[in-house]
């Protein structure tokens, strides 16, 4: 099967309302496709099945799996095109909502800073969604552009007729399990990439990332876990601070328990997690749905038992309008946060998806 035929099927599957997912793992050339053999909505309750899972941020939403046994599998080697991460400049399509959205988000950050000042949490992650109208184009073309722009991210396109179409390029691994060993990461802080990966992170950014690292390490079997030093990780046109964490599967560090500890990560929720989670649900004033949830393969008994990723840098595309998308963005708030700058960070993050739509 040619690459052209492989990717053109994306448009055919959505027209036929066939559940499917296309995905490529970070740094790889092979793109996988799972096409479900029926249009059922298979629910995953305890992570005991093998398949491609799609989990929400909040537990009340449906937890979905495309079971391997109920899917046709296809794959294609895709040679990434060398293209630059262009600066997004077409702002006319969303300026109409920026003023109200900006004021609303700044007020939310100010409220979070008051909450932090009361000693309730040390960090809370706030998000927003933004609707954009973009020039109509084939979904397959949009997905290919994501593949080209973000070679080091988990790049996916997921569709089910009952829940719609999601697409993204996430830089954050939730959990990778292979031959009895697991890997995860603590990711936080955001800077715009300006040609240099070696940047000097300020105290607020380093502190935010350390919160994430400390929380993860505190919840795991300490005798079977180790962590590296923080380093700058490039994800498309953005930079983050990252600490790699690895360990061995044990009675405490089972796949199920690891996911329970890691999701939602402090990088998308806050510290302490429970209080930050309550603040988010009470104050964000919208449902994150599958944004900041997780997705990927669980295939126990294989060489790679799990490869799961946090659903960041993502969007929903309205298949009825065909040129309307909802983009999700957010950022971590700590005592050193400046509300206006936090808004600007979400604007920069929104350009990740806008760069493939315009």
What is the DSSP secondary-structure string of 145-195? HHHHH-TTSEEEEEEETTTEEEEEEE--EEEEEETTEEEEEEEEEEEE--S
What are the CA-CA distances from residue 24 to residues 19, 76, 181, 247, 296 (Å)? Answer: 18, 10, 22, 25, 10
Domain boundaries of the chain, sorted by first residue: 3-81+93-357
The tokens for 348 are 């920069």
212 membership: H or E segment, kind and range:
helix 203-218
72/34 Cα distance (integer angstroms): 6
DSSP three-state, residue 189: strand
- Give dist(CA 136, CA 159) in Å, integer: 18
- Which three-class secondary structure state does DSSP give residue 199? coil
Q: What is the pLDDT of residues 124-147, one digit of tens each?
A: 999 999 999 999 899 999 999 999
Instruction: Sort 28 into a burial class: Cβ within 10 Å, 0-12 / 13-18 / 19+.
Output: middle
Whole-number Å distance between alpha carbons of 287 and 267: 18
Quote the CA–CA distance of 264 and 276 in Å, as a whole number. 11
The Cα–Cα gap between 234 and 341 comes to: 20
Can you read off the two tokens belonging to residue 327? 């983009």
Q: Would you place residue 84 in the very low, low, confident or very high pLDDT band (cuts 50, 70, 90)?
A: low
Q: Tell me the mean pLDDT in the region 224-244.
A: 88
- What angle do the packed helices 273-283 and 95-117 form, to 10 degrees? 140
Would you say 240 and 230 are in contact if contact means Cβ atoms under 8 Å apart?
no
Does residue 328 register a pLDDT over 70?
Answer: yes
> How far is it, in rounded angstroms, from Cα 270 to Cα 212?
8
pLDDT band at 87 (very low <50, low <70, confident <90, very high): low
How far apart are the C-alpha atoms of 191 and 120, rounded to whole Å? 27
Higher pLDDT, 218 or 175: 175
pLDDT tens, position by position, 15-69: 999 999 999 999 999 999 999 999 999 999 788 889 999 999 998 899 999 999 9
94 has a pLDDT exceeding 50: no
Q: 279 φ, ψ to 5°?
A: -65, -45
Averaged over 200-222, what is the pLDDT?
A: 86
Strands 225-227 and 270-271: unpaired
H or E segment at 352? helix 339-357
Rounded to whole angstroms, the Cα distance separating 188 from 172 reads 10
Mean pLDDT computed over every residue of the chain: 90
Does pTM surpass 0.85?
Answer: yes
CATH of domain 3-81+93-357: 3.60.120.10
Question: pLDDT value at position 92?
Answer: 47
Q: How far apart are CA 203 and CA 70, in angstroms?
A: 49
């Amino acid at each position: 099967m040619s690459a052209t035929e492989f990717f053109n099927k994306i448009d055919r599957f959505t027209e036929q309302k066939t559940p499917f997912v296309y995905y490529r793992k970070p740094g790889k050339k092979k793109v996988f496709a799972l096409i479900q053999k029926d249009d059922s909505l298979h629910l995953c309750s305890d992570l005991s099945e093998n398949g491609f899972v799609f989990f929400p941020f909040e537990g009340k939403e449906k937890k979905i799996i495309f079971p391997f046994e109920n899917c046709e599998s296809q794959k294609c080697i895709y040679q990434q095109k060398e293209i630059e991460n262009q600066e997004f400049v077409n702002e006319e399509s969303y300026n109409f909502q920026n003023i109200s959205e900006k004021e609303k988000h700044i007020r939310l950050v100010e409220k979070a800073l008051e909450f932090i000042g009361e000693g309730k949490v040390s960090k809370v992650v706030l998000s927003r969604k933004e609707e954009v109208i973009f020039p109509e184009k084939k979904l397959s073309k949009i997905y290919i552009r994501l593949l080209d722009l973000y070679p080091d991210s988990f790049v996916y396109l997921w569709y089910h007729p009952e829940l719609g179409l999601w697409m993204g390029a996430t830089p954050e691994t939730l959990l990778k399990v292979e031959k009895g060993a697991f890997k995860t990461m603590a990711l936080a802080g955001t800077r715009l990439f300006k040609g240099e990966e070696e940047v000097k992170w300020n105290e607020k950014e380093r502190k935010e990332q350390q919160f994430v690292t400390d929380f993860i390490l505190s919840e795991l079997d300490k005798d079977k876990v180790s962590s590296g030093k923080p380093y700058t990780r490039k994800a498309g046109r953005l930079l983050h601070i990252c600490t790699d964490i690895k360990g061995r599967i044990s009675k405490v560090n089972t796949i199920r328990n690891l996911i329970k500890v890691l999701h939602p990560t402090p990088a998308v929720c806050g510290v302490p997690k429970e209080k930050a989670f309550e603040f988010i649900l009470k104050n964000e004033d919208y449902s994150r749905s599958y944004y900041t949830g997780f997705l990927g393969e669980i295939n126990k008994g294989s060489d790679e038992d799990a490869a799961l990723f946090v659903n960041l840098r993502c969007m929903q595309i309205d298949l009825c309008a065909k040129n309307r998308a909802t983009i999700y963005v957010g950022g971590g708030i700590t005592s050193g946060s400046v509300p206006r700058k936090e808004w600007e960070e979400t604007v920069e993050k929104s350009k990740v998806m806008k760069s493939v739509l315009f």
